[in-house]
Structure 1
Amino acid sequence: MAYTRRDAATLTRAEKRRFVKALLEVKRRGEYDEFVRMHIEHFSSDGEHGLRAAHMAPSFLPWHRRFVLDLERALRRVDSSVTVPYWDWTRDRAATSTPWTADLLGGNGRRSDHQVMTGPFAHREGNWPIKVAVTDAAFLRRDLGRRRAPIDLPTKSELERALRDPVYDVAPWDSTVERGFRNKLEGWARGGTSWRNHNRVHGWVGGDMLGGASVNDPVFWLHHAFVDLQWYRWQRRHRGARYLPATPPPSGDAQHGRVVARHQPLPPWDVTPDELEDVSRVYRYA
């Protein structure tokens, strides 16, 4: 029977407590750091050689759908009532609103070093040491809104621009494409200087949410649950629209062997984008 993912802003105190407790237990068991390692390993860009599965490619959405689902399964092994909530960053836009409360994810980092000082994931609580990272910091860091060069979270109209596009993705299937739902949602722009939607949220949170080790901040999951919800909504708006490319780019194409086609397996799993397009039997959104 399918379970329901809900808006973080609607969670009761008890639901927040169970979600946090399950996250901390997955961390204590050592499972959480394996998710961080996996994301770092698959954080490949256009400029690198080989297959791109997690970012700057059509498989951005199915890869993260399976990634969030795996974390959710780990949480539900601890507490079967827990699901991953989503953060609606088009509505909850302040550094003091959901999910930045002491009973959920805690607040912003301090000015000196961006160390998070409040909430269950603060370093001083002793339950969330950063063990796998691309920096030497052992504590969770945030810089909500980017104090020195402020940016805003994406708006509903910016998200709507992505949802309106009836085509999933287009060649050359990378960060440079200007058409297609996937890149408008993932948020790359020509030259990589202007972030949109998903990317800008990572930039707005700052700290550990910048780069391949972004999983170290638990908000990663709430953010990507909301991104996954947009794919869910896009599918229902554009009935019959499918994941693209349907077939692999041919030999001689610059993207040959670099992107995952609809019926090819997504590393590191033995699952295809085609199999991840419909998850209605697993979960739904409230």
Structure 2
Amino acid sequence: MVYTRKDVSTLTRSERRRLVNALLELKRRGEYDEFVRMHIEYYTPDGEGGLRAAHMAPSFLPWHRKFLLDLENALRRVDESVTLPYWDWTRNRSRTAVPWTDDLLGGTGRRSDRQVMSGPFAHRNGKWTIRVGVTDTKFLTRELGRPRDPIALPTAKDLEGALNDPVYDAAPWHSGSAKGFRNKVEGWGPGQGSASWRTHNRVHRWVGGHMMGGASVNDPVFWMHHAFVDLLWLRWQRRHRGARYLPAKPLARGDAQRGRVVARHQKMPPWDVTPAQLEDQSHIYRYA
């Protein structure tokens, strides 16, 4: 049966409570931390050798689609009524808007150490200790909007350059690709500093704290953010009927990216699934 992912701002009080309780239960069981470990393991940047499956590569979108499905299935094993909501950061843009409410994700971190002090995922409540990360910090951290060096969330207008590109991805198939929807929505831009952080990447920077890097899954907003990115992929597909994942075939011998990116019919680690198999999600879920 096809289920529905909703805009987080439309969730009822009961739906918010069920979602939070399911996340906390996965954390209690230790299942949630396995998702953090997986994301850290596959957070491979351009500068490192080997296959890039999760980031800075064409498979960014299908890899995260599968990652979200695995988490969603785990949540639904706890409570079958729960589905992943999406955070439309082009509309809910302030530090006090949904999802930054006390009954959902809580708010920003305190100034001294960025520790989240409100909401169900605050460390002081005893149910959300950071056990897997790139630092020894035990509490969830955020710095919404980066008040000491402010940046703004992407706007709907900012997305148009990505959504209007008719090609899924293009050589050189990494963070330097000037053409293609994938890199434009992932958000790697030229230059340095805030101007180079676009779309998906800029949202991670805006949230700050644990959302800055491979351990970003420690913040539950990760899932709501990536559910919206997944929705953007669907919108791009609808705008460009017939467009498909690229590269269609493994890259030619001698190409510097051969063996470093996943072609459309190659399996994406760590799963036995290809990008082609994840291009159509309509038999699993839809977006409200």
TM-score (norm 2): 0.98
Question: Which residue of structure 1 aligns with residue 164 of structure 2?
Answer: 164
Whether the 8 Å contact between 1:168 and 1:182 is mirrored in structure 2 is yes
Say which of 243, 246, 270 aligns to 2:245.
243
Say which of 272, 279, 282 aligns to 2:281.
279
Structure 1 counterpart SS, 2:228: helix
Structure 2 counterpart SS, 1:4: strand
Q: Which amino acid aligns with 2:257?
A: Q
Following TM superposition, the consecutive aligned residue runs of length 4 or more in structure 1 with deviations greater than 4 angstroms are none
The alpha carbon displacement at 1:89 in A equals: 0.2
Whether the 8 Å contact between 1:175 and 1:190 is mirrored in structure 2 is no
Say which of 218, 225, 231 aligns to 1:216.
218
Say which of 178, 192, 197 aligns to 2:199.
197
Query: 1:163 and 1:96 mapped to 2: Cα distance?
Result: 28
Question: Which residue of structure 2 aligns with residue 73 of structure 1?
Answer: 73
Query: 1:190 and 1:158 mapped to 2: Cα distance?
Result: 16
Query: 2:128 and 2:166 mapped to 1: Cα distance?
Result: 41
Alignment of 1:105-254 (within 5 A): 105-191=105-191, 193=193, 194-254=196-256
Question: Which residue of structure 2 aligns with residue 257 of structure 1?
Answer: 259
Query: 1:199 and 1:221 mapped to 2: Cα distance?
Result: 14
Give CA deviations for 1:202-258 in whole Å, capped at 9, x if unaligned: 000000000000000000000000000000111111000000000011111000100
Question: Which residue of structure 2 aligns with residue 63 of structure 1?
Answer: 63
The size of the alignment, in residue pairs, is 286
Give CA deviations for 1:150-204 in whole Å, capped at 9, x if unaligned: 0000011111111011100001100001111001100001245411000000000
Give CA deviations for 1:36-56 in whole Å, capped at 9, x if unaligned: 000000000111000000000
Question: Which residue of structure 2 aligns with residue 267 of structure 1?
Answer: 269
Query: 2:177 and 2:192 mapped to 1: Cα distance?
Result: 11
Query: 2:222 and 2:160 mapped to 1: Cα distance?
Result: 22
Question: Which residue of structure 2 aligns with residue 23 of structure 1?
Answer: 23
Is the alpha carbon distance of 1:235 and 1:19 closer, same or farther for their aligned partners in structure 2, counting shifts above 3 Å?
same
Which blocks of at least 5 consecutive residues in structure 2 are unaligned? none
Structure 1 counterpart SS, 2:55: coil
The alpha carbon displacement at 1:91 in A equals: 0.4
The alpha carbon displacement at 1:147 in A equals: 1.6
Which blocks of at least 5 consecutive residues in structure 1 are unaligned? none
Q: Which amino acid aligns with 1:184?
A: K
Query: 1:192 and 1:283 mapped to 2: Cα distance?
Result: 38
Superposition RMSD on alpha carbons, in Å? Answer: 0.6
TM-score (norm 1): 0.99
Seq. identity, %: 74
Structure 1 counterpart SS, 2:89: coil
Query: 1:94 and 1:169 mapped to 2: Cα distance?
Result: 32
